Amino acid sequence: MRCPFCLERESRVIDSREVSEGSSIRRRRECVNCHRRFTTYERYQQAAMMIVKKDGRREEFDPTKLRQKLRVALTKRPVSEKEVDALIQRVEGQLLALGVEEVPSQIVGETVLNELKSLDEIAYIRFASVYRAFADLEDVRREVEGMGAARRSPDRSAGG
């Protein structure tokens, strides 16, 4: 951190204290060249959340990538960008709330699916078919029928 007055690189820390409940540190510094004093703040950078894939590869959680996947699932669906943003934020919040640095990709998928289910059922099915890597179409069909069954009234006649 250069001195703001003379741009000298060296400075001496004369006082440091934690602020914002310990999430940042305020340092009072004195320039070794002009001896003027200035204050710097150091903030902990939140560690990037890593997604662990099935094959063990790790990649940083990327909201942009998630948005792209959601866009595909939401093609021609009546869902606004705002709703997509809100969904991504909720997903990210839930993942951060786990308090771990590495999250299995299945957990990410399930979290997204949970949110998507209440937002748009068609998009949910589309996303599920990709994310859960359904073995075959039969699984997708079962999923669709399972969702429909909850709403359908029984149509079997009681007579025997």
User: Could you list the residues that contact Zn ion (CB under 5 A)?
Assistant: 3, 5-6, 8, 31, 33-34
Three-state secondary-structure class, residue 115: helix
Q: How far is CA 10 from the centre of its chain?
A: 39
Quote the CA–CA distance of 139 and 142 in Å, as a whole number: 5
Cβ of residue 17: shortest distance to Zn ion, in angstroms?
22
Q: Which is nearer to Zn ion, 11 or 111 (CB)?
A: 11
Phi-psi region of 63 (alpha: psi -120 to 50; beta: other; left: phi over 0): alpha
Q: Which is nearer to Zn ion, 7 or 98 (CB)?
A: 7
Cβ of residue 9: shortest distance to Zn ion, in angstroms?
10
Type of residue at 25: I
Q: Which is nearer to Zn ion, 27 or 69 (CB)?
A: 27
User: What single DSSP character describes residue 128?
Assistant: H
Cβ of residue 28: shortest distance to Zn ion, in angstroms?
14
